[in-house]
Amino acid sequence: MRRTALLASAALLAGLLPWAATARAADEPTPVPVDRFEGEVPFAAQPAEGIFTWGGDADDPPTLRLADRADAPEGGKVLAGTYDISGYGGFTHDFAATAPAHDWSDRQGIRFWWEGRNNGRKIAFEIKDGGANGEASELWTTSFTDDFTGWKQIRLPFTDFAYRTDYQPVGGIDHVLGLKEMWGYALTLPAGAQGDFALDGVELYGEADQALRASVTTDAPVHPVDEGGRAKVRVTVATTGEAPLTGPVTVTYATADGTATAGTDYTPVSGTLTFPAGTASGTARTIAVPTRRDRAAEPAETIPLKLTVTGAKAPAETPQIVIDAHGLPYLNAALPVRKRVADLLGRMSLAEKAGQMTQAERGAVGQGADIAAYGLGSLLSGGGSTPTPNTPGAWAKMIDGFQLRTRATRFQIPLVYGVDAVHGHNNLSGATVMPHNIGIGATRDPQLAYRTGAVTAAEVRATGIPWDFAPCLCVSRDERWGRAYESFGEDPALVDSMETVIQGLQGRANGKDLSRNDKVLATAKHFAGDGGTAYGSSTTGTYTIDQGVTKVTREQLEDVHLAPFRTAVERGVGTVMPSYSSLDIAGDGKGAVKMHARGDLINGVLKGRMGFDGFVVSDWNAIDQLPGDYASHVRTSVGAGVDMMMVPYTYKEFSTTLADEVKAGRISEQRIDDAVSRILTEKFELGLFEHPYADTSGAAAIGSRAHREVARRAAAESQVLLKNAGGLLPLKKSEKVYVAGSNADDIGNQTGGWTLTWQGASGNTVPGTTILQGLREAGGNITYSKHASAPTGGYDAGVVVVGETPYAEGVGDVGNGHDLKLSAADQAAVDKVCAAMKCAVLIVSGRPQLVGDRLDEIDALVASWLPGTEGEGVADVLYGRRPFTGQLPVTWPRSDAQLPINVGDASYDPQFPYGWGLTTLTPVPKGGTATLRDLAARAAAAERHGDGRTGRALVTQARLLVQQRTGGRLTQAVAGPFADADHLLLTGRYGKAVEKLAQAYRAV
């Protein structure tokens, strides 16, 4: 649309809109249009120019349209839309990646018309600077509040934009808003309630203020110093593009009133620093502030250093010198932890205690000023919440920066920073990514589970993180659950056996190893019953089973869902996280109650009967799911025994409400003291008071060969050979092998959800080796055709790698866009390859897939689960470098109609039973019923003598004998006792296990 027409349209609106909003100063340059929404920019995506939507899940992207509006501020159309966002969502206008970037450097800011709804909601506006294109740029953000009605022109000066610290699509480019290579803008719409919006006339306005191209910064916002020491504040001047100063910059400084006393605690200083015209960008000067020693024991004291800047943009914050706390008993590492906790707790105010019970998301606190302002006790990185660049050094630097903020509080209580390292340090690019828990359960190898935990702990702690929200001790009872792969299996006895991972993470059960630089605080989650939720019981968005209701008898609750937590407490796990789900216990008269409100279980069972002495942390925003108003959410959850609240973006509201509820007498001070004591105890045991900052001495081992070898072995041992007709596997290196399938060469699919981001992603997402690469590196004679489009003649064997794409939590629930069937493309690849040659089908997935209709045409079938970054481990068993030894951690169903199906069910007729797993390279015992009787007698004797190793070996011999006998003919009469035998094995009843296997043998 022509500019003259636009101006004419604007003039027609002069009677409708405030003159102050439409007029521009006579000397203001003509605005530069960005979007008029008259159809000149399409709805499209990279690399083309266009407007597109995005969101946290399928329902979060808004709907957009170009709407005819008689009152349009510009032209005849506006961009209008509706939204209903549960996570995050918004829209973007990206400029074409195939054309040069835009230069906005001569303009003051960006402005647009917004039709206000007067709802008080904040809308984030983001611009894209530098890099290769709009989706590989630096993100700079500011916001405005919809607190008006009708059309209003929103002006956003470029000086208001801050570098995003919660998310960047790429590594840092230069962290300077240069404005010379701009790739577009984006709006993030409010979450939590339905709404609509209208936008028009996006344009650049004004003339750049040359003085604001220069900025003054300090080396840190907080400068701790020992009493009597000399604090040094480094002041730096810099310019956009690193050009020399075009005019002088002066910085006048003076110490100001803080909690320290001038003349007693420090010597006041004042003066002026001058940076003349021509000074090089990056030039720095130092201001020194002497402190004084008085030898009295004291909390930390602050000395603000006020800076007044002329000729440049001033620092965003006033730097503070902090005289460190000293001489107080809680600082004495020689005292017992309980005495240190009691001393510190006795000194704290209610607000400080409330802060310790509050955990915020790193992205919500920006540069971290609120850490001191609210005395926050903890931060976390949610899935995909990473520093830029996503390197070990950047993680350590970021967390150290947050820890630095705690030094500005009275008692300098360090943060405990948490992250979901659920299969390795999976948020960190380049980390060693292990198989997901379902694969670890398939290994049946407690020592290997321990080693995966130890590698994870070492890599996590080396980036400055002392706390891991793992392991998940859920007992998955329904494959339709989107979190099924987070479980070690469907049998509580199997989950119990894999809890060696806790010692891998934490070290000794008494907590004495927590201060080591290669150990982290572990979290047993999700207490209790999240794996037992009933299909269709969820009321969370489009989820079908996740966060639903678990209906159990008291006996079922104890035997299935609470049992793993008893073991975790015995193993000294430091924290426990309740589940989002509800629990409906038959006969208790309470109905379905959210776990975060079940004081009978958190206070009564976990802390009371089980004797858990760590602290309980809520799940992400979980208290918001409780009934009633926000104050009742806080009262209920804290009263139920939750000690720390994960309130990622509402930390201010939570800490304030918590303190108010205590003041009103609705939450007891004794309950607060109990919670804070538990939190402080773990912080002391982690050694954070003595060493709050990252110890990066172990960073060189992140992603190392030694660590990846552990992951490779775990991947190999997790492979479950379900069928092997004619002994097709292991393959011979002399054979010509045709490889196909969607998951053969896709490391994103291979690693699954919770990899770099919450949901994970397909494609080349993380460093590692795909299964195809592993096969090639093993020396195989390989031809690869993803969709089996290449000719299939002349091959000795085919390997078709199929399965799921990544997902996490309820997003992956069956019925929420997912099912248990192979995709049409995967089915076609299996059909084509298996019709042309002997074939092995590998299923890379987080749960069993329904393949019974194709089982006859498949010679070998392997459950590969989600093996992580080390595809060589899969190749190791395919080519016989290692034997297949994995066993099913869950029952493999024949059809959807059987679900849920689990070991011990009265009616049990699966495709493959729990515990099933053929082997290679391992001799199978000879004999029949007589051999089994002998094995049973010897196994019973081993049980009586407490000889677990011998007992397990004897049961394994019996299992292999039975599996060989079946020849793949698995009937209901065989499957039931076979699965029961594996449960008996895991509970130490070796003689009974062999008797069950003998029963299965006779039923063949």
What's at 975, amino acid-wise?
A
Residue 381's beta-bridge partner residues? 419
Q: What are the residues facing 273 on neighbouring strands? A: 251
Distance, in Å, from the CA atom of 500 to the CA atom of 471, rounded to the nearest integer, reads 10
Nearest to 796 by CA among 865, 733, 718: 733
Beta-carbon count within 10 A of 636 CB: 19
Tell me if 331 sits within 8 A of 688, measured CB to CB: no
Q: How far is CA 3 from CA 21, 111, 205, 216, in A?
A: 19, 16, 14, 39
| Distance of alpha carbon 952 from alpha carbon 934, whole angstroms | 15
| 304 neighbors 241 (Cβ within 8 angstroms) | no
Work out the number of other CB atoms within 10 angstroms of the CB of residue 336.
10
Task: Please give the distance of CA 380 from its chain centroid, rounded to a whole number.
Answer: 9
Which of left, alpha, beta for 221 (phi over 0: left; psi -120 to 50: alpha)?
alpha
DSSP letters along 75-86, please? SSEEEEEEE--S
Residue spans of beta strands (DSSP E) within 369-485 = 378-381, 416-419, 467-468
Give the whole-angstrom CA distance, residue 133 versus residue 131.
6
- Catalytic pick among 619, 643, 682, 872: 619
Instruction: Answer for the pair 465, 399: CB distance below 8 angstroms, yes or no.
Output: yes
> Could you give the CA distance from residue 212 to residue 873 in angstroms, rounded to a whole number?
56
809 is catalytic: yes
Give how far Cα 941 sits from Cα of 937, 946, 954, Å: 6, 9, 11
Question: Which residue do the tokens 């080349």 mark?
Answer: 764
Query: For residues 920 and 960, what is the distance between their CA atoms, to the nearest angstrom?
Result: 11
Q: In this structure, what are the phi and psi dihedrals at residue 940, rounded to the nearest 5 degrees?
A: -65, -40
Angle at CA 713, nearest 5°, toward 711 and 716?
110
- State the Cα–Cα distance between residues 718 and 706, nearest whole angstrom: 19
Tokens coding 204: 């650049």
Q: How far apart are CA 946 and CA 951, in angstroms?
A: 9
Which residues touch 829 (CB under 8 Å, ≥6 apart)?
A: 740, 741, 742, 786, 787, 788, 800, 802
Map residue 788 onto helix, strand or coil: coil
**In angstroms, rounded to a whole number, what is the distance separating the alpha carbons of residues 145 and 473?**
43
Distance CA 314, CA 364 (A): 23
CA pair distance 958, 175, nearest whole angstrom: 64
Residue 6, token pair as written in the block: 């636009």
Q: What does the alpha-carbon distance between residue 901 and residue 543 come to, in Å, rounded to a whole number?
A: 20
Three-class SS state of 981:
helix
Chain centroid to CA 279:
45
Strands annotated E in 280-431: 283-290, 301-310, 320-323, 358-361, 378-381, 416-419
CB atoms within 10 A of CB 789: 11
> Which one is catalytic: 129, 491, 745, 809?
809
Is residue 342 exposed (0-12), middle (13-18) or buried (19+ Cβ within 10 Å)?
A: middle
Q: Is 600 a catalytic residue?
A: no
Element (H, E) at 125: strand 121-133
Q: What pairs with residue 157 in β-bridges?
A: 109
Tokens matching residue 364: 């919500």
Structure token pair of residue 258: 């803080």
Tokens linked to 903 = 């070991």
- Active-site residues, by number, are 619, 809
